[in-house]
Chain A
């Protein structure tokens, strides 16, 4: 791939970061709206099998991603209806969603085990591919890598500069006040949940279409949980998710390199690091008595019922 292993490691980092970046940015929007969806892992794996199956049947990667997005969104919608209309507990429903997603994905995936997926080519970026160092690391990837970064930029812009983003943040901060001002709490949250499902689905599909690329049961292997940790690690900021995804992705890539080099035991420790780092980040965030410190949306995980 390249002459220097360090460049290969960095390129591998970006590939490893993309699925958790997608799932993480989706969950960030969900949590900013005040909803805690612990079903990211389930939505990712459903996205992975939907993406793989559709891409295999239609021989189109684009349709595969579309199928993955719809699969993730469908599962998210189940969560949304349960928690927003039927007022089920968000934590329990999210956990159930993960378990359901793993089961559903295994069921759909039966006929696809062991089939090799299509290869996804890199985006032809022409001369930029040949820039020393930057070229191999940044400019030889497939389209979804760039799309995911674009999604992060869009989420940042919308949350920070648009009225829709302001309403979404307000609902996550204080849903009673937002309701009193006439914001549509349930509808906004449902939209955020579905967006989270779409992103998680795309993230899952990236695993089965690009990174591996084939279908295996349980292939997300905790990526959804890393994405959840990532949102906390990022302090609920969009660019923080990008930085965290690179960091966590880098650890995953490093782990694979070390495994290849035969240092297996160290790999186990490396796979723990994202969680340890998240806990450390949490401790730093919550111990800092700094005002305006990034902290969780105040209404996160709380059910909302409007008095009529």
Chain B
């Protein structure tokens, strides 16, 4: 296989951190090459160098035999590099055609026609006139792929393309990618999901702490052996547990709620019971009411009093403080800006939800607050272990461990958490899952809302799917297959 793109000893240093250290990588013609690594391993810096967004400090790149060093995204596109971003790349207030036009260097005369043609050719259904903000996650990704394909790239870079897709949507994506490979296109594929990499990718390069930790042929490896290369150490998976349902702690009936987000779904007649010692997993593709459900349960959004019963007491119309005093705690998805204030220290952030025990007639007891923050740091191995650090300087995984720990050490009776391990590296994710299971073992009820099916299959006792703001009936997790869940995720309000 001839090499299309060769990276040779690329190094990029930021103040205080070496993002990439002498990284070499080779993508062949017509190859799907996987780039693997934990958060902060240097994948996105590497990709940004290929796309001309970041200049390397040293090292060289060669594209099709010629030296390659793009000065900007336009130069990279001209050279034949296309990029499908994970975040930050669609404009909600613009329509599909405008979004596509923005990613191209010259707007072709009949753009809407070209979009329709390429989307039918590759089975990527799209309407050029719809607003991007109205699209589902899968459709948004199609916009990005179509935008990329219209420029006929030789190499397409995809950053975690399946993280927001339902299983069926992901399968459709894989078909498209295989077809593109058959037509001779090369793809650099970044993902956390080892299983799909084993099925899809020809070769894989693994990054660990900015360096190449190994190159392998995924089909010849097991998921465990690849995971070992990614993490570098053995990680402890939560042990299996025996679930014996206790009394009902939280009862939700006929919960309906409009969304604050003009593009968000409304909750419709959501109902479930949560027992002592139970981990209830709520699956669903992002944007199907997860944030709304968390807001309704935490008390940020008020509903009918009787829609939410905490140990028999109606709390649907009460705010978060009232519910927290009764043992109902919640942790939202967005770490910075929702769960934590980025410019405040960890101690101050601990105070924000844990203040009830840490004040004396309204005056903050700083000594107690600092010890509380230290206790969380110690118990959950948060690094660096300094309670005076601002939340924004913490890595995603460490901040998430701190935020989950902050709630767990307040001994909730019911704990609701949204995307507990989103964007968190494998070791931290395992620690968080273990902590959630321990909480349930100690008699609390835990609701885990997550996009990550593997995670839910692993830790939840019972299981329901949120689709289009409606919750499926709760069922036992054992005995449910990923295919069943995929069908439920499509829901009555199909998002694909």
Q: What is the minimal beta-carbon distance from A162 to any residue of chain B, in angstroms?
A: 9
**Interface stretch among A112-120, A165-173, A200-208, A211-219?**
A165-173
Q: What is the minimal beta-carbon distance from B79 to any residue of chain A, in angstroms?
A: 13
Within 8 A of A (CB), among B80-105: 85, 88-94, 98, 101-103
B74 to A182, Cβ gap below 8 A?
yes
B73 to A292, Cβ gap below 8 A?
no
Q: Sort chain A's interface into a size bin.
A: 20 to 34
Partner of B73, one of A169, A174, A180: A180
Within 8 A of B (CB), among A255-292: 289, 291-292
Q: What is the minimal beta-carbon distance from A186 to any residue of chain B, in angstroms?
A: 13
Q: Which residues of B contact A163 (CB under 8 A)?
A: 101, 107
Q: Which residues of B contact A293 (CB under 8 A)?
A: 262
A298 at the binding interface (Cβ < 8 Å): yes
A173 to B88, Cβ gap below 8 A?
no
A49 to B263, CA, bound (A): 48
B88 to A170, Cβ gap below 8 A?
no
B427 at the binding interface (Cβ < 8 Å): no
Q: What is the minimal beta-carbon distance from B111 to any residue of chain A, in angstroms?
A: 11
Given A291-B134, A293-B262, also A169-B72 (CB < 8 A): no
A170 to B102, Cβ gap below 8 A?
yes
Within 8 A of B (CB), among A222-266: none
A298 to B92, CA, bound (A): 9
B131 at the binding interface (Cβ < 8 Å): yes
A196 to B93, CA, bound (A): 23
Q: Which residues of B contact A174 (CB under 8 A)?
A: 88, 90-92
A163 to B375, CA, bound (A): 55
A1 at the binding interface (Cβ < 8 Å): no
A308 to B90, Cβ gap below 8 A?
no
Q: Which residue of B lies closest to A174 (CB)?
A: B91
Q: Which residue of B lies closest to A169 (CB)?
A: B94
Given A292-B131, A308-B54, also A180-B98 (CB < 8 A): no
Q: Which residues of B contact A179 (CB under 8 A)?
A: 53
A167 to B88, CA, bound (A): 15
B134 to A181, Cβ gap below 8 A?
no
Q: Which residues of B contact A292 (CB under 8 A)?
A: 93, 131
Given A173-B92, A308-B55, also A166-B101 (CB < 8 A): yes
B94 to A177, Cβ gap below 8 A?
no
12 residue pairs of the A-B complex, CB under 8 angstroms, read A169-B94, A173-B93, A174-B88, A180-B89, A181-B73, A182-B74, A289-B258, A291-B133, A292-B131, A295-B93, A307-B54, A308-B55
Known: A166-B98, A166-B101. 6 other contacts (CB 8 A): A163-B107, A166-B94, A170-B91, A174-B90, A174-B91, A307-B53
A residues engaging B (CB < 8 A)? Answer: 163, 166-167, 169-170, 173-174, 176-183, 289, 291-293, 295, 297-298, 307-308
